[in-house]
């Protein structure tokens, strides 16, 4: 017989990860809603969870007391926290920077002036503290924009394109970034080609068509990065799900491009068409799918529960469509949802006020934790069949040491009973309205 322990968080309880009482198995189902687990059928291997070390996040973190700094690092990267083992940084500035900046002087095609000292101010110190908790951090670097002089619009903001004559220099720029970070004791696992290559933003942005991204990868970025280090993984697209299939196909159908690509990255803005991500996997079974950015737009939402539900719904939807990792956006922001050099304020799992040296934990932090605390790197997603009411969803994994993990989300206004069946035993799970449950089955 399996032994079951569970943890619940709910809007009603106002508690996080509250231990559930003993749940005894039965032989008879008493609910019309059920989920049957089939561990013998497996899917993708789980890589982990993480967040972004933006300049804004690192700047806010730096303004807190040493005690609060360490507590926040522990909340994310320690074994008692969210157990993050992944992270993302931006090459040059992004919207969540204090201003536009690059690492080279105007017009320096040699890149001899390359200088990463800007990141030494705030980002590198924060990353080093995270690496103390998780030495095997898988780090992804993404550019928002090349230096303005490399672009058709001669500025970092408002889109524009990479000028063809700068493709090889720009590719070398990624390598310089990776090399300089490595000198600082910060190794990189992956890069993406371009953050949101289909979006002309008022902030740092650069546009590629699918064909332009394909040609840049196969003619410049792939060969130059992999000549430096064949182990650096390259992710394409790094944008929303709505057109992920049509953007992924030209990259993965071209052998010379695809041989340099580890996988396709997605964000959650605009669309929750999770099935589109699954279609990429169906068309290209060998590619890896990584979620690389999502946040609550429009400024801070302290105390809101629906924000956490959005996180949980997106994790479940993507993971059930073969996504292997979830990397959130800013690790921490201030009480305004910044700083942000174009006032594109957002929410974050942790919001801090450096003036008072206080911070709040949002429901998004709790939602991520219902997955990241229990689904271990190396876990395999397992098959389940389900008959669930509207507003209730779930995902199922088996950890490397054999534990079965089930995470259920109830977004409805109704209390619900779901009967979980595993090894011919039925476990009745009672879920409050607007709640999250993590269940761990052991032998």
Q: What residues act catalytically?
A: 196, 293
In 3D space, the residue among 346, 349, 402, 354 whose CA is nearest the CA of residue 379 turns out to be 402
Angle 51-39-378 (CA atoms, 0-180°, nearest 5)? 35
Distance CA 274, CA 316 (A): 9
Query: Where does 78-204 have alpha helices with state H?
Result: 117-121, 123-133, 167-183
The sign of the torsion formed by the CA atoms of 157, 58, 347, 439 equals positive
Specify the 3-state DSSP secondary structure of 3.
strand
The structure tokens listed for 47 are 């890589």
Angle 438-273-327 (CA atoms, 0-180°, nearest 5)? 55
- Non-local (6+) Cβ contacts of 407 within 8 A are 312, 316, 370, 371, 374, 375, 394, 395, 436, 437, 438, 439
CA torsion, ordered 279, 284, 285, 286, to nearest 10 deg: -140
Sheet with 34-45: strands ordered across: 15-19, 3-10, 435-442, 404-410, 392-398, 380-387, 34-45, 416-422, 425-431
The CA–CA distances, whole Å, from 89 to 46, 57, 304 equal 21, 11, 27
* Whether 125 contacts 116, CB under 8 Å: no
Biggest alpha carbon–alpha carbon distance for the chain: 73
């Amino acid at each position: 017989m399996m032994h079951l322990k569970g943890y619940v968080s709910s809007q009603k309880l106002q508690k996080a990860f509250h231990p559930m009482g003993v749940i005894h198995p039965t032989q008879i189902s008493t609910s019309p809603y059920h989920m049957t687990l089939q561990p013998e059928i497996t899917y993708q291997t789980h890589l982990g969870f993480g967040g972004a070390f933006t300049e804004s996040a690192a700047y806010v973190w730096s303004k807190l007391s040493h005690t609060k700094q360490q507590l926040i690092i522990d909340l994310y990267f320690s074994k008692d926290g969210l157990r993050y083992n992944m992270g993302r940084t931006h090459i040059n500035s992004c919207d969540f920077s204090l201003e536009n900046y690059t690492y080279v002087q105007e017009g320096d095609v040699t890149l001899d002036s390359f200088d990463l000292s800007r990141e030494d101010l705030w980002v590198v110190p924060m990353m080093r503290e995270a690496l103390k908790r998780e030495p095997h951090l898988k780090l992804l670097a993404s550019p928002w924009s090349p230096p303005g002089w490399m672009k058709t619009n001669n500025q970092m903001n408002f889109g524009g394109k990479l000028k063809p004559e700068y493709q090889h220099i720009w590719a070398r720029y990624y390598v310089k970034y990776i090399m300089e970070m490595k000198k600082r004791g910060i190794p990189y696992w992956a890069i993406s080609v371009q953050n949101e290559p289909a979006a002309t933003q008022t902030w740092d942005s650069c546009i590629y068509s699918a064909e332009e991204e394909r040609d840049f990868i196969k003619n410049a970025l792939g060969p130059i990065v992999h000549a430096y280090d064949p182990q650096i993984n390259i992710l394409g697209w790094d944008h929303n799900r709505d057109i992920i299939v049509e953007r992924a196909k030209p990259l993965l159908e071209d052998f010379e491009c695809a041989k340099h690509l580890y996988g396709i990255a997605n964000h959650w803005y605009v669309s929750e068409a999770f099935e589109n991500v699954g279609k990429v996997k169906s068309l290209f079974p060998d590619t890896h799918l990584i979620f690389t950015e999502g946040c609550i737009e429009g400024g801070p939402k302290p105390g809101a529960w629906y924000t956490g539900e959005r996180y949980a719904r997106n994790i479940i939807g993507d993971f059930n469509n073969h996504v292997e990792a979830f990397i959130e956006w800013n690790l921490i922001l201030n009480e305004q949802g910044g700083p942000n050099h174009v006032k594109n304020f957002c929410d974050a799992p942790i919001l801090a006020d450096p003036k008072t040296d206080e911070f709040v934990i949002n429901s998004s932090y709790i939602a991520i934790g219902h997955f990241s605390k229990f689904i271990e790197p190396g876990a395999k997603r397992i098959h389940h069949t389900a008959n669930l009411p509207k507003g209730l969803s779930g995902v199922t994994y088996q950890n490397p040491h054999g534990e079965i993990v089930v995470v259920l989300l109830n977004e409805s206004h109704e209390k619900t009973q779901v009967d979980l069946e595993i090894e011919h035993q039925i476990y009745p799970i009672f879920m409050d309205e607007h709640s999250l449950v993590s269940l761990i089955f052991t032998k």
